[in-house]
């Protein structure tokens, strides 16, 4: 979708818990030394007793403060998460709006998996350019992965906890959303369901995603699933680049999920990008934060002089379904927000 009307990212915020070191996890017998070498992941964020609601609200408060906007000025709040963020049947975005000071914004909650923040962006584009005539939409995301997943799996990512927020606007911001596209590979839907019954749902507890994935991939040719995922990501990335009116060589940064280096490198190579163009050096330290990877990486690049006016940034995400979203941002200005706080002291998981 080429975005001809003005849709801007006005601000971004995050809530990042303390970091746990993979080296320390190896020393404590929690993580395999071979995985440390193969995956290249150096840490992940651990929220402890901090709730997804707290992380989402804290990130949103930062985004509003940076934009000089109050909650009463918001037209909509869209929250995304991979897992249920609190009591069943409860609205986290309604809670966030109340905690921020209230207002009359509509609230929406998305559960589309790890690309949720980008799916919310696509939805917000329609609100900001269409019949609703919105001028300010707040996107939030948060997950406490440790409640649902083993913290130190032998896998291509480490679950990380975080909250994030993006404030989208039709009146201006530091980046313009030039294009965004999404699609699905439905034959991979079962990867996040496995052999579990659809009804009634099983009891809450740790989710074995590797077993669920194996129920699909063991019946496929080697790398077939990966190639299907990469094929859709490439198609959407190339379409988004073309609709942004630029070439692949004009992309300064590509942000993908925080996974093992060889995974990120594989997906980027399909669109002619390199690992050096990504935010992986940062992402490898914080873990895969569900829906928050892209927003947190964007904030990190802004705060550490990783971007400049005129740069184009591609944000790519994928999730259960199997759904994929790609967006292209044009950096118009680098905000003069305070420098990030020093990295937290590593903690045990």
Tens digit of each residue's pLDDT (9 = 90 or more) over 87-142: 988 989 999 999 999 999 999 999 989 999 999 999 999 999 999 999 999 999 99
| Calpha distance 78→48 (Å, rounded) | 25
**Cα torsion angle, 264, 268, 273, 279, sign:** negative
* Confidence at 169, pLDDT banded by 50, 70, 90: very high
Give me the residues paired with residue 332 across strands: none
Q: What is the pLDDT of residue 341?
A: 53
Question: CATH 3.40.47.10 residue ranges in the chain?
Answer: 8-172, 178-331
Asked if residue 143 lies in contact with residue 85, where contact means CB atoms within 8 angstroms, the answer is yes
Percent of the chain at pLDDT > 90 equals 83
The pLDDT of residue 337 is above 70 = yes
Asked if residue 76 lies in contact with residue 105, where contact means CB atoms within 8 angstroms, the answer is yes
Domain 8-172 annotated CATH 3.30.590.10: no
Report the range of poorest mean pLDDT among 39-48, 183-192, 334-343: 334-343
Q: What is the pLDDT of residue 115?
A: 96
The pLDDT of residue 347 is above 60 = no
Buried b (16+ CB within 10 A) or exposed e, 183-200: eebeebebbbebeeeeee
Q: Does an H or E element contain 9, and which?
A: strand 8-15
Based on the number of CB atoms within 10 Å of its own CB, is 135 exposed (0-12), middle (13-18) or buried (19 or more)? middle
Asked if residue 278 lies in contact with residue 256, where contact means CB atoms within 8 angstroms, the answer is yes
Q: What is the pLDDT of residue 204?
A: 78
Q: What is the pLDDT of residue 320?
A: 84
Q: What is the pLDDT of residue 340?
A: 56
Q: What residue spans of the chain are helical by DSSP H? A: 22-27, 33-39, 52-67, 92-100, 116-129, 209-217, 224-243, 261-269, 280-283, 293-303
- pLDDT tens digits along 195-230: 888 898 777 788 888 888 888 888 888 789 889 999
**pLDDT higher for 201 or 178?**
178
Q: 209 phi and psi, to 5 degrees?
A: -70, -30
* Confidence at 346, pLDDT banded by 50, 70, 90: very low
Average pLDDT over the chain reads 93
CATH architecture of 178-331: 3-Layer(aba) Sandwich (3.40)
């Amino acid at each position: 979708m080429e975005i001809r009307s003005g849709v801007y990212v006005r601000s971004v915020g995050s809530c990042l818990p303390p970091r746990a070191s993979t080296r320390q996890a190896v020393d404590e017998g929690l993580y395999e030394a071979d995985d440390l070498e193969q995956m290249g992941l150096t840490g992940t964020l651990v929220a402890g007793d901090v709730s997804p609601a707290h992380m989402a609200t804290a990130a949103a408060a930062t985004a509003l403060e940076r934009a000089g906007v109050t909650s009463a000025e918001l037209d909509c709040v869209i929250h995304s998460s991979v897992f249920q963020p609190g009591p069943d049947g409860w609205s986290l975005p309604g809670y966030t709006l109340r905690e921020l000071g209230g207002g009359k914004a509509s609230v929406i909650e998305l559960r589309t998996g790890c690309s949720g923040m980008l799916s919310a962006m696509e939805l917000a584009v329609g609100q900001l350019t269409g019949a609703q005539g919105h001028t300010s939409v707040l996107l939030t995301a948060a997950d406490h992965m440790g409640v649902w997943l083993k913290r130190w799996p032998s896998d291509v990512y480490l679950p990380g906890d975080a909250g994030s927020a993006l404030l989208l606007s039709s009146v201006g911001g530091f980046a313009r959303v030039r294009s965004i596209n999404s699609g699905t590979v439905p034959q991979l839907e079962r990867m996040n369901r496995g052999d579990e019954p659809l009804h009634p749902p099983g009891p809450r507890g740790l989710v074995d995603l590797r077993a669920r994935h194996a129920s699909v991939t063991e019946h496929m040719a080697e790398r077939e699933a990966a190639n299907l995922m990469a094929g859709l990501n490439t198609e959407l990335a190339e379409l988004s680049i073309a609709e942004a009116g630029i070439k692949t060589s004009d992309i300064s940064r590509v942000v993908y999920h925080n996974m093992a280096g060889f995974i990120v490198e594989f997906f980027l190579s399909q669109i002619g990008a390199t690992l050096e163009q990504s935010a992986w050096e940062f992402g490898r330290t914080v873990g895969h934060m569900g829906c928050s990877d892209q927003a947190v990486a964007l904030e990190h690049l802004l705060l550490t002089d990783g971007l400049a006016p005129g740069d184009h940034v591609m944000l790519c995400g994928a999730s259960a379904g199997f759904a994929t979203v790609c967006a292209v941002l044009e950096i118009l200005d680098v905000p003069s927000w305070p420098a990030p706080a020093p990295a937290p002291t590593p903690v045990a998981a």
